[in-house]
């Protein structure tokens, strides 16, 4: 997943709000690497995950009137909301990942 997050950062270079998404995916990458080396905190991972879920909900509510199946079937960045739907999906994937890491980090603390 660290590689996926790194690739997500790289593809943001030409995005108008790329700095925001590089920061978001960069945070996920740093938290993933910290977890890899057993330096992660379940609380920090949980906060990042909840923030991501909140961001996903916010984006989803702002584009609720779009037909998601038409947006997702298009590989081109054409039409209103295409980028927002893809951003919401990326944020959701990262949030689920961080929630899983939080669960594993919590389990590590309980075992020790």
| % of the chain with per-residue pLDDT over 90 | 61
pLDDT in tens, 21-53: 999 999 999 999 999 998 989 999 999 999 999
Whole-structure pTM value: 0.84
Q: Is the pLDDT of residue 62 over 90?
A: no
- The residue whose two tokens read 């590590």 is 108
Residue 84: which of 51, 57, 112, 111 has the closest Cα? 57
Q: How far apart, in whole angstroms, are the C-alpha atoms of residue 91 and residue 54?
A: 10
């Amino acid at each position: 997943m660290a590689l996926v997050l790194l690739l997500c950062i790289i593809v943001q270079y030409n995005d108008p709000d790329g700095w925001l998404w590089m920061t978001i995916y960069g945070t996920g990458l740093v938290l993933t690497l910290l977890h890899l080396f057993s330096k992660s905190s379940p609380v920090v991972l949980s906060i990042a995950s909840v923030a991501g879920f909140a961001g996903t909900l916010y984006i989803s509510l702002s584009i609720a009137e779009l037909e998601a199946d038409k947006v997702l079937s298009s590989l081109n960045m054409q039409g209103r909301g295409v980028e927002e739907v893809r951003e919401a999906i990326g944020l959701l994937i990262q949030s689920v990942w961080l929630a899983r890491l939080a669960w594993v980090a919590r389990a590590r603390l309980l075992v020790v």
